[in-house]
Amino acid sequence: MTAVQGRVAIVTGGGTGVGAATSKWFAARGWKVLVNYSRSQAEADAVARDCGEDRAFAFKGDVASDADCVAMADAAMKRWGRIDALVNNAGRTQFVQLTDLDALKAEDFHRIYDVNVIGAFQMARAAARHMGEGSAIVNVSSISTATGQGSSIPYVSSKGALNALTVTLARALSPKVRVNAVLPGFIESRWLREGYGDATYEKAKANYVNSVALGRVCTPQEIADAIGFLIEGATLTTGQLLTLDAGLVMGRRR
């Protein structure tokens, strides 16, 4: 895949994990990058520095706020005059046992949906106003929508809604903007480790490795590579949900 000079990407949740790896993926290929964060300022600033000060900058904004989404798109336009790609990576969850239904309240669903679904829509709407022919959006979803397993029921159901949003936006924004999603499995990340705690994280990771055909978990860089493929390479692909689970759905090779 050849480098593309002068194009502009916005990566939400760009300071850590998949977002950080994706921001660096773009910068390494000649893109300009707005690295969005809501809380991880130090990490986002570090990612922007790694990308190159002439190539990236960090921008604080909560995708659950429509005004912040508009401000983010406007900031990219003011700095570089165009938006060619959006990666909706910002996400929120609550770590609750799936069987503990009484631990959940309606507010938990609202809080998670505000970021994972409404935030993705608001950010897509804000960016699409400035996107030209051949632009692309990638939403970061989860394989939990296929397995029914994940950090919590609100999280899993929100990612199912994000998948539906992906297909609908692909239709609504065609033919100018392509919209796809990636569905990672267990990602080796600080986010999951902090959410589960060290012991549960290591157990879940080991269980995953023993359950998938490829015998390993996903890495942020591998997810970033797939996102990049959907942005730069898959120019005939839209409305698709790309599974990146190391073979979880198909099961362990015997």
Active-site residue list: 155
Q: Is residue 81 within 8 Å of residue 48, measured between CB atoms?
A: no
Distance CA 127, CA 215 (A): 38
Cα 202 to chain centroid distance, Å, stands at: 23
Which residue type is seen at 251? G
Distance CA 133, CA 59 (A): 25
Distance CA 33, CA 103 (A): 39
Distance CA 168, CA 160 (A): 13
Tokens 């012991």 locate to: 199
Query: Alpha carbon of 194 to those of 71, 95, 151, 169, 188: distances in Å?
Result: 30, 10, 12, 33, 11
Distance CA 61, CA 46 (A): 17
Residue among 20, 163, 196 nearest 93 (CA) = 196
Query: Alpha carbon of 48 to those of 41, 62, 192, 200: distances in Å?
Result: 10, 18, 23, 32
Residue 175: asked if its preceding bond is cis (omega within 30°), the reply is yes
Backbone angles phi, psi at 134, to 5 degrees: 85, 5
